[in-house]
């Protein structure tokens, strides 16, 4: 395969990913929070299962609460980390340790390791607030997925 063919395939993948992200926005806006939490939980579980070292690395974040806000659809969810496991819930009583906000596409790409968290943060496509040490630790775990 030539360099031009590789570029063409990469461009096609990028376009298809864009179509996918635009297509999921509508259903996500209409989806009840409890159903959304189940779907995100399944999604996160698949990431954890595909990366065995992920659970061990999460132990350093035990007891931490993360909030992810998809600004383009006005929705959010929480990740609770306990004993190397991740629980996804629509609401928590405690204030989150870290909040990450951005478009659905950016959040999905960061959580799957397709986008480097530093790159999207410094390009202002992802906002991160809260405990800096916890955010950096989590960011490093996500960066290792890529």
Which of the four CATH numbers 3.50.50.60, 3.30.1050.10, 3.30.360.10, 3.30.930.10 does domain 3-143 have?
Answer: 3.30.1050.10
Are the beta carbons of 49 and 86 closer than 8 angstroms? no
Residues 2-27: tens digit of each pLDDT: 656 666 766 776 666 665 556 666 66
pTM of the model: 0.70
* Segments making up each domain of the chain, as ranges: 3-143
Using only C-alpha atoms, the chain has a radius of gyration, in whole angstroms, of: 16
- Alpha carbon 128 to chain centroid distance? 12
Least confident of 5-19, 58-72, 90-104, 111-125: 5-19
Phi, psi of 57 (to 5 degrees): -65, -30
């Amino acid at each position: 395969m030539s360099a031009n063919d590789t570029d063409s395939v990469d461009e096609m993948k990028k376009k298809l990913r864009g179509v996918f992200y635009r297509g999921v926005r509508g259903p996500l806006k209409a989806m009840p929070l409890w159903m959304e939490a189940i779907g995100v939980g399944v999604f996160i579980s698949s990431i954890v299962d595909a990366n065995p070292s992920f659970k061990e690395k999460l132990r350093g974040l035990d007891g931490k609460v993360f909030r992810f806000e998809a600004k383009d659809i006005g929705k959010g969810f929480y990740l609770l980390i306990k004993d190397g496991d991740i629980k996804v819930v629509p609401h928590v009583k405690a204030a989150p340790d870290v909040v990450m906000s951005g478009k659905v596409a950016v959040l999905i790409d960061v959580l799957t390791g397709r986008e480097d968290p530093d790159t999207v943060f410094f390009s202002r496509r992802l906002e991160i607030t809260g405990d800096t040490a916890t955010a950096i630790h989590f960011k490093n775990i996500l960066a290792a997925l890529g």
